[in-house]
Amino acid sequence: MFSSLRTLRLATLPSTRAFTTSRFAMAPKHHKVTVIGSGPAGHTAAVYLARAQLKPTMFEGMMANGFAPGGQLTTTTDVENYPGFPDGVLGGELMDKMRAQSERCGTVIETETITRLDCSERPFKLWREGYDEVTDTADAVILATGASAKRMNLPGEETYWQRGISACAVCDGAVPIFRNKPLVVIGGGDSAAEEAIYLTKYGSHVHVLVRRDVLRASKVMATRLLSHPKVTVHFNTVPTEAVGNGDLLTEVRTRSTKTKEEGSITASGLFYAIGHEPATSLVKGQVDLDEQGYIKTIPGSTLTNVPGLFAAGDVQDKRYRQAVTSAGSGCMAALDAERYLSELEVTAEGKAKL
């Protein structure tokens, strides 16, 4: 979340280490359980695993999927909806605290990106970035690699990202710069309709830009959107530029996809609702994904279709995508992994006795 005139807190980027050549082979390290990813889901899982004496290792990533260790919240300023912080907390500060808590509980944190994971047999095999050989093995893995919002890379987007442009209405809609101001939402699906209706609580009016001449949203959502007195849907319209006063967004330039006519909407907010990309490249082809590429988990759990592989956070959640829901599923993944590992031990003991 961000507030009007606060300067953007840039993610603290570690020095980028791009491994263009192979690193020297290392003897694989075995772990009972590893966590891949370092957002709220990964750190919550790590805290629970460490407290359960499972000695977890976390691979926090090195600009993996475009994010610094700590994940998406390192790219924002104020987070006002995470419980326990009555005055809000900076996203980076919240993630620093989560990291410190993981370490204090006993998690080993490796600032490394995992580039390959083989979950075809146990122990699972992992490759750290830059290595050709397996570097780590694990009896259980919690995948908490997150997701990223799709962006349009409009002219002006870099300048006004987090200064009027956002990809999360629920996270950012309530901040002062949007109050009683005209807002623009891009997208024609259910999420766009939901976000636009949500924003009517705060903005003076919400303009929805839809590329085609129909909404992809369900009939119910489309009807709610089209009949809302504070919403105007602009069909066959795309944004072409984000314009501002150097500090905050003030206008969205548009073009008709039919007539090519150029237009302009005065707006203090531009919200992308064109989808997210879950970071699933490590498990594509090995694990069941849904039609949008999110990891499928057994409802009410973090179990994937691969025994021993658990998924938590935005990588498996296309609906809520909040820090606190990610943290909640991180807790579930740790408890699921703990149970799985204890059942493995029982089975191994049983076999040993035979």
Ligand X SMILES: Cc1cc2nc3c(=O)[nH]c(=O)nc-3n(C[C@H](O)[C@H](O)[C@H](O)COP(=O)(O)OP(=O)(O)OC[C@H]3O[C@@H](n4cnc5c(N)ncnc54)[C@H](O)[C@@H]3O)c2cc1C
> Residue 144: how many CB atoms within 10 A of its CB?
32
Part in contact with ligand X (CB under 6 A); list of ranges 8-16, 253-261, 301-309, 311-319? 311-319
Q: Is 24 exposed, middle or buried (0-12, 13-18, 19+ CB in 10 A)?
A: exposed
Q: Report the largest interatomic distance among the alpha carbons of the chain, rounded to a whole angstrom.
A: 78
* Residue 173 lies near ligand X (rule: CB under 6 A): no
Contact flag: residue 58 with ligand X (CB under 6 A): no
| Token pair belonging to 318 | 């296309």
Q: What are the Cα distances from residue 43, in Å, to 9, 77, 108, 147?
A: 21, 19, 11, 16
331 carries an active-site annotation: no
Catalytic pick among 78, 139, 168, 317: 168
168 makes contact with ligand X (CB under 6 A): yes
The reply to whether 282 sits near ligand X by the rule CB under 6 A is yes
CB of 259 to ligand X, least distance (A): 34
Measure the CA–CA gap between 177 and 187, rounded to whole angstroms: 22
> Which range of residues in 63-71, 132-140, 198-206, 343-351 is near ligand X by CB under 6 A?
63-71
Active site annotation includes 168: yes
- What is the spatial order of strands in the sheet that 262-266 belongs to? 237-244, 249-256, 262-266
Candidate residues 34, 52, 56, 72; the one interacting with ligand X per rule CB under 6 A:
72
Closest by CA position to 32, among listed 142, 135, 131, 110:
142
Q: Please name the amino acid found at residue 307.
A: P
Question: What is the Cα–Cα distance from 154 to 124, expressed in whole angstroms?
Answer: 41
Instruction: Assess 337 for contact with ligand X (CB under 6 A).
Output: no
With contact defined as beta carbons under 8 Å apart, do 111 and 14 qualify?
Answer: yes
Choose the binding region for ligand X from 187-195, 221-229, 261-269, 310-318 (rule: CB under 6 A): 310-318
Structural element, H or E, at residue 279: none
Q: Could you say whether residue 130 binds ligand X (CB under 6 A)?
A: no
Q: Is 172 a catalytic residue?
A: yes
Q: In whole angstroms, how close is the CB of 341 to ligand X at the nearest point? A: 21
Which 10-39 positions form the footprint of ligand X (CB under 6 A)? Answer: 36-39
Give the residue numbers annotated as catalytic, written as ranges.
168, 171-172
Which residues in this chain contact ligand X in the complex, by CB under 6 A? Answer: 1, 36-42, 59-61, 64-65, 67, 69-73, 75-76, 79, 81, 113-114, 144-147, 149, 168, 171, 279, 282, 313-315, 321-324, 326
